[in-house]
Amino acid sequence: MAIEPQIVFADSSSEHPNIDADGIEALVTPRTRAIVAVHYAGNACEMNKILEIARRHDLVVVEDAAQAIDSYYADEPLGSLGAMATFSFHETKNIIAGEGGLLTLNQPQYIERAEIIREKGTNRSAFFRGEVDKYGWVDIGSSFLPADLIAAYLFAQLEYIDIIQSRRKAIWQRYWANLAGKLAGFGVALPTLPSGSDSNGHLFFLVCNTFEQRTALIERLKQDGVQAVFHYLSLHKSPFFEGKHDGRTLQNSDRFSDCLVRLPLFYELTDDQVDFICERVLANLSLLRST
């Protein structure tokens, strides 16, 4: 009888929203097959520790590098460290095609099946290479090939990747320079980068002191014409996982879910706008403290 696959959630680090690498090993059981590492905000997970745990327990490491194109860990590109990785070209990412993504495979044994899944469960790729004389259904799959127009759009983005990345990183640095040393009095923290992480400026976030402070800050920024947003709700608390999560409290994940706020970060954002946003963040936090 087939055993239902089960996702076991690991908590975030206390320092940053990425997985707490030191908490993984306690969750590994004989049924564990893979570790999925999400490189949140384009910041690297502690891959040395994660790869070492995977080696010891013979597990596959899957990197969710959706936000992490052109980010690095100890000078290695994210998405090149695990057995496989996914990237996103969704309109909210650094390099976009409207919708679409990329699967990278680090081990040749996965290539054939990936081709089949991409080609609707058929061996059409092998057929085009002349390896079989007709093609048919050999596995599950779906229609994952991008259309030519999407691919053309993406190609142009990739040609400009250095320009796009350097502007995004400059915006990220400007936020940092404007806010560093000015937030602690409000109990608000700047992002902490995991050691070894060289980030792609995908997003800039602050971690508020409380859920109420975050809610009020977002509301006030909105009145100033600044669209700041929070991001994900903890997956283990989502309706889909109700009754499936084993019930452990994931306190760091919950704290980031409640307190993280993203500031605007996109290619066209000007230095003056970044300065204005920072000025409004500080002014609003001040006002909130005195009310």
Ligand X SMILES: *Cc1c(COP(=O)(O)O)cnc(C)c1O
Q: Which residues here bind ligand X, judged by CB under 6 A?
A: 38, 64, 66-67, 88, 90, 101
Q: Give the nearer residue to ligand X in terms of CB position, either 53 or 203.
A: 203
Q: Are 177 and 277 in contact (CB under 8 A)?
A: no
Among 147, 141, 135, 134, smallest CA distance to 116 is for 141
| Alpha-carbon span 144 to 147, nearest angstrom | 9
| The token pair that represents 45 in the structure block | 């997970």
Q: Give the nearer residue to ligand X in terms of CB position, either 88 or 200.
A: 88
Q: Give the nearer residue to ligand X in terms of CB position, either 11 or 64.
A: 64
Q: Give the nearer residue to ligand X in terms of CB position, either 97 or 116.
A: 97
Q: Give the nearer residue to ligand X in terms of CB position, either 66 or 78.
A: 66
Least distance between ligand X and beta carbon 141 (Å): 17
Least distance between ligand X and beta carbon 41 (Å): 9
| The token pair that represents 134 in the structure block | 């007709």
Q: Is 85 helix (H, G, I), strand (E, B) or coil?
A: strand
Q: Partners of 84 in the beta sheet? A: 62, 105
| Alpha-carbon span 201 to 164, nearest angstrom | 10
Least distance between ligand X and beta carbon 88 (Å): 3
Least distance between ligand X and beta carbon 101 (Å): 4
Least distance between ligand X and beta carbon 92 (Å): 6
| Alpha-carbon span 108 to 83, nearest angstrom | 10
